[in-house]
Amino acid sequence: MAQSKVAAKRASKTRLTSVVLGGLLVAGGAILAGKALSDSHEGVTVSHGYSFFGDLKYDADFKHLDYVNPNAPKGGEISIWARAPFNSFNPYTRKGHVGALASSGDENIMVSVADDINATYCLLCETLEYPKDISWVIFNLRKNITYSDGTPATAHDIKFAFDKFMAEGLPSFRSAFGSFVKEIEVLDDHRIKYVFNEDSPVRDRVGLASIIGPMNQKYFKENELSIDQTWDTPPPGTGAYVYASHKADNEIIYRRNPDYWGKDLPLNIGRNNFDQIKVVYFGDSQLAFEGFKGGAYTFRSENTSRLWGTAYDFEAIEKGHVIKTELPDGSKAPGQSFIFNLRKDKFDDIRVREAISLMFNFEWSNEALFYGLYERVNGFWDNSHLGASGVPEGLELEILKPLVDEGLLDESLLTNDATIPAASSQRQLDRKNLRKASALLDEAGWIVGDDGMRRKDGEVLSIEFLESSPAWDRIINPYVENLKALGIDAKLDRVDQAQETDRRREYDFDMATHSINLGYEPSSGLKQWFATEAMEGSSRNLMGLSDPAVDRLVDVVIAASTTEELTAGVKALDRVLRAKRFAVMQWYKNVHTVAYWDQYDYPDPLPPFARGELDFWWFNEEKAAKLKAEGAL
């Protein structure tokens, strides 16, 4: 899309920073946050954790997280695979290809846990304190925090990191973060205060302030490191694991720091159990699978249904050396989909997008390609209490009605069920959907010519799917064939990973696979995914969505001050996002399909929202010795 079109689109979108829809009004001074309190004095809350909407699960004197084995032994190695190439250890820039787990040495002031997902708990801080209106927050840091090189970490290092991100970080991050923080002040070596802008979303303030941890000033200055450049190795961090070595496009090794400052914290008991984590690199998933069979690495999360359904019959499985299993996954469905590049003029008409969507046959794909392992994703909060369903009611209806009254949404949105993907037959080309799609394209002015191709104003309707992984060939190619039957000049444009990365960054594609991963308490991060202001310069709004109704609903969600308002706002947003048809929803499964060499143990049951193999699994020396004795590894 030409720059002039982008500018015109932006100018045409109205965005409210103060949101009043359907009676929803946020008044910061009236909001009650962090209801599970350790202490309060003179209107200031002092606590070991923070939850905006509800109580904290863990009290200040908890001994360990419920889902870990507090007696888990330390030792051994776990190894996983990643896809080549990599040429940088800086996870905070879009330059280069960052190595796996590059940020493993970095720690946030507060962290979430796997069984209390709407709360955060002090890690680098002992306590935080904030007033009723959350106009500021003070983090009282632990006094024994050190980097892996032994250098003490202080509040000055957090201020240094904040200033670095504001000066050199990604524009989308600087914009989002900078709009929150009015002032940051180091009160002493172990106390840091954030003062927030009055118009910043109240619900996000504490959480956002807590995500920037310390950066080693001495190391950064001596090595002249900036955030907007690639790094040859990670800088010393405060985390449990430290960089040990790497071989270009071959492997990266991280080792547990025996002097890790936080190893005895209740939050860390039973965690960080492996002496070493190794990442082994392969060119694609098939090569990686062959490497796993040969013991080149020891833990594999299988995301290819064909391999899971047909290939796990090798010798190590038959002898019991490799465990193949399905572990429960209570997470919401990921919003994985084929997304349209809405910057392209040919996708302006929603009828075109709907027609193209109709030609993806999930039912046939699931039976013929996926071995029946998957369910269809219906929306962006599917498999959770936040997903839209049926017709809007109650508060959700109140939120949507003003947007319909203003002409920003079609009235049918208030009376129709939430949009779901059309079902198809068990034949690859569903004739019923083909007829529907043909009628839609005819209405949109894309007419079939004598050569069977659809044209409008002399232009052939063409679509290229950008993809670098060969594993997607068998999925995309049948979709391409169906689109060709519709009269579209469709093809799979498979490139190498570097080209794919560059072209996605430049928005040089028609359609691509995108994972839109959203949380259970979404807020200002939604702007990076869906807002007009992020249609350029954001890797999250890859589709280039720019819609005034969506912008307004994003603000409604951000402004929610109660669980009821949040749930209704997210349901309304999910309903509208589905109706915009910028995504051809893909699939998900409610289990983790994993295989691993039988030398590991894990807590049973696992927590609902984490698999945790690198977090709270542990090495079993007896099992490992048995594998070696039998010549398996």
Question: 460: number of CA atoms within 13 Å, CB side?
Answer: 14
Question: 33: number of CA atoms within 13 Å, CB side?
Answer: 35
Residues 307 and 167 occupy one common structural domain:
no
Place of tokens 């190498």: 496
Domain assignment present for 156: yes
Decide if pLDDT at 607 tops 90.
Answer: yes
SS3 at position 336: strand
What is the pTM (predicted TM-score) of this model?
0.81
Write down which residue in 233, 263, 297 finishes a domain: 233
Strand partners, 596: 299, 323
Q: State the pairing for strand pair 511-516/335-340.
A: antiparallel
Residues 259 and 224 occupy one common structural domain:
no
Give rounded-to-5 percent helix, strand, coil for the chain. Answer: 30, 20, 50
How far apart are the two ends of the chain, measured CA to CA in Å? 54
Per-residue model confidence (pLDDT) at position 597? 98
Average pLDDT over residues 283-300: 96
Write down which residue in 233, 249, 279 finishes a domain: 233
| 32: Cβ contacts below 8 Å, ≥ 6 apart | 132
Residues 45 and 125 occupy one common structural domain:
yes
Q: How many domains does the chain have?
A: 3
Return the CATH number at 378.
Answer: 3.10.105.10
Per-residue model confidence (pLDDT) at position 66? 98
| 12: Cβ contacts below 8 Å, ≥ 6 apart | 548
Per-residue model confidence (pLDDT) at position 41? 55
Q: How confident is the model at residue 55 (pLDDT cuts 50, 70, 90)?
A: confident
Decide if pLDDT at 9 tops 90.
Answer: no
Per-residue model confidence (pLDDT) at position 42? 64
Residues 171 and 317 occupy one common structural domain:
no
Rounded alpha-carbon distances, angstroms, from residue 26 to 32, 68, 180, 208, 402 = 12, 39, 16, 19, 18
Q: Looking at mean pLDDT, say which of 173-177, 340-344, 536-540 comes out highest.
A: 340-344
Q: How confident is the model at residue 1 (pLDDT cuts 50, 70, 90)?
A: very low
Domain assignment present for 90: no
Decide if pLDDT at 505 tops 70.
Answer: yes
Domain assignment present for 133: yes
Task: Let me know if 401 is exposed, middle or buried by CB neighbors in 10 A (0-12, 13-18, 19+).
Answer: middle
Residues 326 and 256 occupy one common structural domain:
yes
Residues 146 and 45 occupy one common structural domain:
yes
Decide if pLDDT at 26 tops 70.
Answer: no
Residues 459 and 310 occupy one common structural domain:
no
| 506: Cβ contacts below 8 Å, ≥ 6 apart | none
Q: Is the peptide bond before 258 cis (omega within 30 degrees of 0)?
A: no
Residues 317 and 407 occupy one common structural domain:
no
Q: How many CB atoms lie within 10 A of CB 294?
A: 11
- Looking at the chain, the whole-number percentage of residues with pLDDT higher than 90 is 85
Per-residue model confidence (pLDDT) at position 173? 76
SS3 at position 632: coil
Average pLDDT over residues 183-197: 98
Return the CATH number at 298.
Answer: 3.40.190.10
* 3-12, 235-244, 250-259, 566-575: the lowest-pLDDT one: 3-12
Per-residue model confidence (pLDDT) at position 79? 98
Place of tokens 């991100």: 165
DSSP 49-94: EE-SSS--SS-TT--S-TTS-TTPPP--EEEEEEES---B--TTSS
Per-residue model confidence (pLDDT) at position 622? 98
Average pLDDT over residues 344-364: 98
Average pLDDT over residues 391-418: 98
Residues 46 and 130 occupy one common structural domain:
yes
Residues 522 and 398 occupy one common structural domain:
yes
Q: Compare 335 and 2 and report the one with higher pLDDT.
A: 335
Q: How confident is the model at residue 536 (pLDDT cuts 50, 70, 90)?
A: confident
- Its domain, for residue 613, covers 241-330+591-629
Given a contact cutoff of 8 angstroms between Cβ atoms, the answer to whether 70 and 79 are in contact is no
Residues 119 and 246 occupy one common structural domain:
no
d(CA 95, CA 507): 16
Decide if pLDDT at 13 tops 60.
Answer: no
Write down which residue in 196, 215, 233 finishes a domain: 233
Instruction: State both tokens at 20.
Output: 């009043």
Q: What is the mean pLDDT of the chain?
A: 92
Per-residue model confidence (pLDDT) at position 15? 28
Q: Which helix (H) or strand (E) holds 592?
A: strand 591-597
Residues 358 and 371 occupy one common structural domain:
yes
d(CA 377, CA 339): 14
d(CA 557, CA 582): 20
Q: How confident is the model at residue 11 (pLDDT cuts 50, 70, 90)?
A: very low
Domain assignment present for 257: yes
